[in-house]
């Protein structure tokens, strides 16, 4: 059987100091691709793409990851036999549309990248329901009077709000099912499918304002769109219930940080768990560093280290389905590019 003409390509990225393809795919998976494909001997990046293009005129498949080049029309014209791109990363908005318009199938490992973020949020939700972060901060002050220490509402029967329903929150909904929680959600496109809403485990669709005022835990999963910049504002944070927690694994720019800081300076009962900020990291002197009820992590919720290999595995598995003419699990729906982060 003739092997598919394939190439591996990606530019190194600022958040990883090294070969990003080696980081995501690893030697074993690259060797696997080499065994099942006719793999181009040169790893492609923006620096050598022009020089290598004449040798890529038979290429049918590209494997890539974070750092995929954004192809020009002229470059794509030199790869006339390109049929599919398997992207071991999340968002495809930066490169996918010109490929899809040419009839090239684009597959994304967004579902694989959603898994660790959802797991991260699950852990934070369960701890936040117990009030663990606020309680832990007070414990650091020294011996405490047990009867005076604040404790959260607990997991049983409490309300969690998911702001935005995408790949991450869909997986998170599955993880939350074993717990007796009331789930409310903000989603404009689910409003027309009430049966689907119930099937997903969502008790009610609400506005952003209702999410913040009703829920004990508010978890942000809005897509990374310009229209969502600053959409979570001071009024939302001021309306939060006593002892409530805000979790952000979406994007920092979606939060009016100055408004949030103003509220959290006076509402010491509230807790913010921020895996993302704007900018990242916050500027020197930002009160996010000093507010005792704000806990930050350095954008670690997504796939890291061992977890990145799952993205490569998802793409290799979908390639094998593509090769056999089977239905693909992770092909990008062009209509979803409008709402996808």
pLDDT band for position 149 (50/70/90)? very high
Whole-angstrom distance, CA of residue 231 vs CA of residue 209? 11
- According to DSSP, residue 302 is labeled S
The residue-averaged pLDDT of 182-188 equals 95
Taking only the tens place, the pLDDT of each residue in 233-250 is: 999 999 999 999 999 999
In degrees, rounded to 5, the angle at the alpha carbon of residue 31 between the alpha carbons of residues 25 and 35 is 130
H/E stretch holding 316 reads helix 308-323
Q: What is the pLDDT of residue 123?
A: 98
Q: What is the pLDDT of residue 60?
A: 98
> Does residue 189 register a pLDDT over 90?
no
The token duo for 119 is 């797991």
> Does residue 54 register a pLDDT over 70?
yes
Q: What is the pLDDT of residue 157?
A: 97
Whole-angstrom distance, CA of residue 235 vs CA of residue 289? 22
Domains of the chain with CATH codes: 4-112+304-338 (3.40.50.720), 114-296 (3.40.50.720)
Q: Which residues, including other chains, have CB under 8 Å from residue 291's CB and lie 6 or more apart?
A: 261, 264, 265, 272
- Strands across the sheet containing 217-220: 204-205, 182-186, 159-163, 217-220, 245-248, 271-274, 294-296
Taking only the tens place, the pLDDT of each residue in 58-70 is: 999 999 999 999 9
The token duo for 238 is 């001021």
């Amino acid at each position: 059987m003739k092997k598919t003409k394939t190439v591996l390509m990606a530019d190194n990225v600022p958040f990883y100091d090294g070969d990003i393809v080696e980081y995501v795919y690893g030697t074993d998976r690259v060797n696997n691709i080499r065994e099942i494909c006719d793999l181009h001997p040169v790893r492609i990046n923006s620096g050598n793409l022009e020089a290598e293009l004449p040798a890529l005129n038979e290429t049918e498949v590209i494997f890539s990851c974070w750092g995929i080049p954004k192809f020009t029309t002229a470059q794509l014209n030199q790869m006339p036999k390109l049929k599919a791109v398997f992207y071991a990363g999340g968002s495809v908005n930066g490169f996918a549309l010109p490929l899809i318009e040419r009839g090239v199938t684009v597959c994304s490992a967004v579902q694989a990248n959603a898994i660790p973020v959802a797991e991260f949020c699950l852990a934070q939700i369960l701890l936040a329901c117990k009030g663990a972060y606020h309680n832990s901060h007070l414990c650091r002050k020294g011996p405490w009077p047990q009867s005076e220490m604040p404790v959260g509402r607990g997991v049983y029967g409490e309300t969690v709000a998911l702001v935005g329903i995408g790949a991450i929150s869909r997986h998170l909904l599955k993880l939350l099912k074993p717990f007796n929680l009331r789930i409310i959600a903000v989603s404009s496109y689910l409003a027309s499918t009430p049966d689907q809403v119930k099937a997903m485990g969502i008790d009610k669709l609400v506005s952003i304002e209702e999410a913040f005022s009703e829920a004990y835990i508010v978890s942000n999963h809005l897509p990374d769109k310009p229209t969502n910049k600053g959409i979570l504002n001071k009024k939302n944070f001021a309306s939060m219930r006593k002892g409530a927690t805000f979790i952000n694994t979406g994007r920092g720019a979606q939060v009016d940080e100055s408004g949030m800081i103003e509220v959290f300076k006076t509402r010491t009962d509230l807790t913010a768990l921020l895996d993302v900020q704007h900018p990242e990291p916050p500027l020197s002197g930002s009160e996010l560093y000093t507010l005792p009820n704000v806990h930050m992590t350095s954008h670690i919720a997504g796939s890291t280290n061992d977890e990145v290999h799952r993205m490569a595995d998802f793409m290799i598995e979908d390639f094998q389905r593509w090769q056999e003419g089977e239905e693909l699990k992770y092909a990008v729906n062009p209509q979803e590019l409008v709402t996808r982060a």
